[in-house]
Amino acid sequence: MPVGSAVDPIVMADLRFAGVRKDYGEIRALRGLDLEVADGEFLVLVGPSGSGKSTALRTAAGLEEVTEGSIHIGDRDVTNMRPAQRNVSMVFQSYALFPHLSVEENIGFGLRARGVRPGPAKVKVLAAAQLVGCDNLLERKPSQLSGGERQRVALARALVREPDVHLLDEPLSNLDAQLRVHTRAELKRLHQRVGATMVYVTHDQVEALTLGDRVAVLNEGVLQQLGAPDDVYRRPANRFVARFIGSPAMNLFPAERVDGSLRAGPFLFEARPDLPERVEVGVRPEHVQVDGGDAGATAEVQVVEMAGSETYLHLQAGESRVIARVGADIRPPVGSIVRVRVNPADAYLFDAETGETIS
Amino acid sequence: MIRDRERREYAFMLAPYLIGIAVLIALPGVVTFALALTEYDLIRSPRFIGMQNFRDLWDDEIFRTSVRNSLMFVLFAVPLRLLGAVSLALLLHRRFRGVAAYRTAGYLPTVVPDVAYALLWLWIINPLYGPLNLALDAIGGPTPAWLTDPRAAQWAVIIMSLFVIGEGFIVAMATRQGIPGELYELGDIEDASPLFMFWRVTLPFMAPTLLLLMFRDTIFSFQATFVPALIVTGGGPPPYATTYLPLFIYRNGFEYLRYGYASAATLVMFAMTALIVYLQYRIVKRWRHAFVV
């Protein structure tokens, strides 16, 4: 059972991982993954490099054999099926377009490989191209396309065959920042229009939160949390998820008991009697209140990062470093002393031994 | 802007190569061109005879036979050698247990000195005790008289050349390894058959390299017959079944001391090679759009 799953049980899973383990020699890429993706759902697998997210996607596609466990698509056990028998599509990070084939031939590649005649194939290719908005590019070669256009062609190729499940492996990572935001929204719209089951792998937590109906956070081959983006952000299951999701990352302080209180970095909280021996306190940067008043601990401003609509302050409060996300108009000079506070309701408590969130 | 000092450094570093080209290729080329217009036997001074050597070549039955033999050799050996190199590359481009040994075996004949290789084949194709005919006999196959039957001798020279494909094999294998693996993974997902993937992906990706290998092999094949023809078949069986252009040139020059005549034949061989490569280039240019370049 995934940690911190906060959604209702799914009635019909379109794609299901049941205790999937994948070893590469000594390296354990997946350690018993249990995960269900609902019919028509957009599920995002997110995690740092080496977390096993791409491996999970590749085992679903059949490009990697599982060491243990099973994979199901609809009511079929596809664990030992060839990739072609699974009826999935895949969009690769590099798009994997054939440079010598036109856009039309690229989109229709799977249809032609499966023996669909040129006439019917052309109709389907045109429909898929129109769906993603690349029907004006059909005669071109991939080298004549921009990054965003290539990405659309790869998507059209995935859609053309109407497979049971679409697997997308970091398809936006080769685009520049502006185009990535634009394409992200387009992808979301496309999913809403098509309603297909999509599993999307990314290391970018912003992509994960903005795109996914649900987000599955992986680390070292273990599912850390599965839930709606809001749940994952607001109710992280453990320290890893809390630190990984959110930018800048959550401030984390080891806590000590002082006279019935809990001191965590510059902050002081009321200590509950049921807390374990060793506790850590997490505070999201946007919950750090910064002002020049009298209340709260003092901190020295060390770095001020302008990020357009907001400002990130890197503060030194005694021995602790604190990052605060404040409004764009708050720009204290470097070296100045400010006061920092946090509302106790906004703080997260973690068991320092296990890393689990203490509710 | 390249500064003078850099220019001197480049010149210094290129010097060994440029001197080598000048002394070993350009100068002999000019001398060959000049000698082709003379009668020269190494004893008397060269005598200018204009185009007479070329007219004599035109009427020379042995020369015409050696041209025909060389063309037939190129016609069969080049495609077969290319096929062998590509087949080996496609078989051995993946990593698997023992692949290094297979790759070494594929390349090894290329590093064996030509004369040693020819002597080895002299034994292999010996009709009485050679292992090739013993093996063919054991499986009930034909046992050609490789050294006395003209057609069999021509095939023997072609077969010998088919194992010296190490360089083509390595280049083809490197090209195959350069094709992104994701394209084949996509093929797996899209149910593309191996044949479909070969025609639609592998071949277009490898085509530019294969064409380069074909041009190179054509040039090479005109010259590659020399050692086997000299050592294994002696240019025979009679009259001139395996007398190819290089052997014809060698005999006229170094055995009959007809340097002018041999030089003229050399120029004809050079022109033929250039013409064939040019024709190949013209033909493949039409299909360039289908290649990955």
Return d(Cα A245, Cα A257) in angstroms, integer: 28
Supply the pTM of this predicted model: 0.82
% chain B with pLDDT above 90: 74
Closest CA to A292 of A246, A326, A247, A256: A326
HSE of B237, CA atoms in CB hemisphere, 13 A: 12
ipTM score assigned to the predicted complex: 0.85
Residue for token pair 């000590």: A256
Lookup: tokens for A263: 């001191």
Give long-range contacts, CB 8 A cutoff, 24+ apart: B199-206: B200/A98, B200/A101, B200/A109, B201/A98, B202/B90, B202/B176, B204/A100, B204/B290, B204/B291, B204/B292, B205/A100, B205/B175, B205/B176, B205/B178, B205/B179, B205/B292, B206/B86, B206/B172, B206/B175, B206/B176, B206/B179
- pLDDT higher than threshold 80 for residue B213: yes
| Beta bridge partners of residue A215, listed in sequence order | A44, A227
Probe site for chain B from A100, A102, A141, A150 (most B CB atoms < 10 A): A100
pLDDT at residue B293, as a whole number: 59
The CATH architecture to which A252-358 belongs is Beta Barrel (2.40)
Contact A113 B204 (CB under 8 A): no
Q: Do B192 and A113 touch (CB under 8 A)?
A: yes
Name the one residue in this structure whose structure tokens are 């033999």.
B69
Residue A2 has pLDDT above 60, yes or no: no
Taken in order of first residue, the domains within chain B and their CATH numbers are 62-290 (1.10.3720.10)
Are residues A290 and A313 in contact, defined by beta-carbon separation less than 8 angstroms? Answer: yes
Q: Which two tokens stand for residue A321?
A: 């470093």
Instruction: For residue A331, give Cα distances in angstroms to A110, A308, A310, A327, A337.
Output: 55, 12, 10, 8, 12
Shortest Cα distance, chain A CAs vs residue B190, angstroms: 5
What is the DSSP pairing of strand A42-46 with strand A214-219? Answer: parallel
Cα gap B242→B246, rounded to integer Å: 11
* C-alpha separations of B74 from A354, B89, B170, B233 in Å: 74, 22, 21, 18
- Outline which parts of chain A fall under CATH 2.40.50.140: 252-358
Partners of residue B189 in chain A, C-beta under 8 Å: 61-63, 83-84, 86, 88-90, 110
Label residue A266 exposed, middle or buried (CB < 10 Å: 0-12, 13-18, 19+). Answer: buried
Give the closest of A62, A96, A114 to B183, CB-based. A96
Q: Are A94 and B180 an interchain contact pair (Cβ–Cβ within 8 Å)?
A: yes
pLDDT at A8 over 50: no
pLDDT (tens digit per residue) in A20-34: 999 999 999 999 999
Range list for CATH 3.40.50.300 in chain A: 13-244
B195/A contact by beta carbon, under 8 A: no
What's the pLDDT at A174? 83
- Residue A6: pLDDT band by 50, 70, 90 thresholds? very low
Q: Tell me which residue in B192, B196, B204 faces A100 most closely, judged by beta carbons.
A: B204
Q: What is the pLDDT of residues B62-86, one digit of tens each?
A: 999 999 999 999 999 999 999 999 9
The residue among A192, A122, A197 whose CA lies nearest residue A158 is A197
Residue with tokens 């028998």: A85
Stretch B124-150: mean pLDDT, rounded?
Answer: 89
Which secondary structure element, helix H or strand E, spans residue B169, and what is its range? helix B166-177
Residues 6+ apart with CB under 8 A from A202: A44, A45, A46, A53, A170, A172, A173, A208, A211
Contact A214, A43 (CB under 8 A): yes
Q: Which candidate from B182, B192, B292 shows the least CB-CB separation from A96?
A: B182
Look at residue A183 in the predicted model and tell me its pLDDT. 85
- Interface check for A62 against chain B (CB to CB < 8 A): the answer is yes
pLDDT tens digits for range A92-142: 999 999 999 999 999 999 999 999 999 999 999 999 998 888 889 999 999
Q: DSSP of A117-149, one letter per residue?
A: -HHHHHHHHHHHHHHHT-TT-TTS-GGGS-HHH
Nearest-angstrom CA–CA distance, B200 and B202: 7
Q: What angle do CA A208, B182, A41 make, to 5 degrees?
A: 30
Q: Do B191 and A61 touch (CB under 8 A)?
A: no
Q: Are B124 and B157 in contact (CB under 8 A)?
A: no
CA closest to B181 among chain A residues: A96
**pLDDT mean across residues, chain B:** 91
Q: Quick check: B185 and A114 CB within 8 A?
A: no
| pLDDT for residue A157 | 93
Which of the two residues, A236 and A13, has the higher pLDDT score? A236
> How many whole angstroms separate alpha carbon B85 and alpha carbon B221?
15
- B292 to chain A nearest CA, in Å? 5
**What are the φ/ψ torsions at residue A261 (nearest 5 degrees)?**
-110, 170
Would you state the pLDDT for residue A193? 86
Contact state of A113 with B196 under an 8 Å Cβ cutoff: yes
Q: Which helix (H) or strand (E) holds A325?
A: strand A320-327
Does residue B272 have a pLDDT over 80? yes
The verdict on A82 touching B (C-beta cutoff 8 Å) is yes
> Which site among A98, A104, A105, A111 would you substitute to test the B interface, given the most B Cβ atoms closer than 10 Å to its Cβ?
A98
Q: How far apart are the first and last CA of chain A?
A: 18
pLDDT of residue A9: 38
Strand ranges of the sheet holding A88-91, from the earlier edge strand across to the other edge = A88-91, A165-169, A197-202, A42-46, A214-219, A222-227
Percentage of residues of chain A with pLDDT beyond 90: 66
Q: How far is B62 from chain A (nearest CA, A)?
A: 48
What is the H or E stretch that residue A183 is in? Answer: helix A177-194
Q: What is the pLDDT of residue A133?
A: 85
Partners of residue A113 in chain B, C-beta under 8 Å: 187, 190-193, 196
Q: What is the pLDDT of residue B155?
A: 94
Tell me the C-alpha distance between A174 and A91, whole Å: 13
- The answer for B 253-292 residues in CB contact with A (under 8 A) is 290-292
Tokens of B123: 């034994």
Report the SS3 class of residue A74: coil
For residue B273, pLDDT over 50 is answered with yes
Rounded to 5 degrees, φ, ψ at B46 are -60, 140
Q: What's the pLDDT score for residue A179? A: 83
* Most confident option among A179-193, A345-359, B78-92: B78-92
Tell me which CATH code domain A13-244 carries.
Answer: 3.40.50.300
Question: How many beta-carbon pairs under 8 angstroms link A with B?
Answer: 58
Element (H, E) at A316: strand A310-317
Two tokens, residue B2: 């390249």
Q: Is the model's pLDDT at A10 over the cut of 90?
A: no
pLDDT in tens, A46-85: 999 999 999 999 999 999 999 999 999 998 999 999 999 9
The structure tokens listed for B248 are 């014809």
Residue bearing tokens 């050996």: B77
Is residue A338 within 8 A of residue A297, CB to CB? The reply is no
Interface test with A, best of B95, B179, B182, B186 (most A CBs within 10 A): B186
Other Cβ atoms less than 10 A from the Cβ of A346: the count is 13
pLDDT number for residue B292 = 67
> How far is A2 from A15, CA to CA, in rounded Å?
16
Q: Which residues contact A5 (CB under 8 A, 6 or more apart)?
A: A225, A226, A227
Burial of A312 (0-12, 13-18, 19+ CB in 10 A): middle
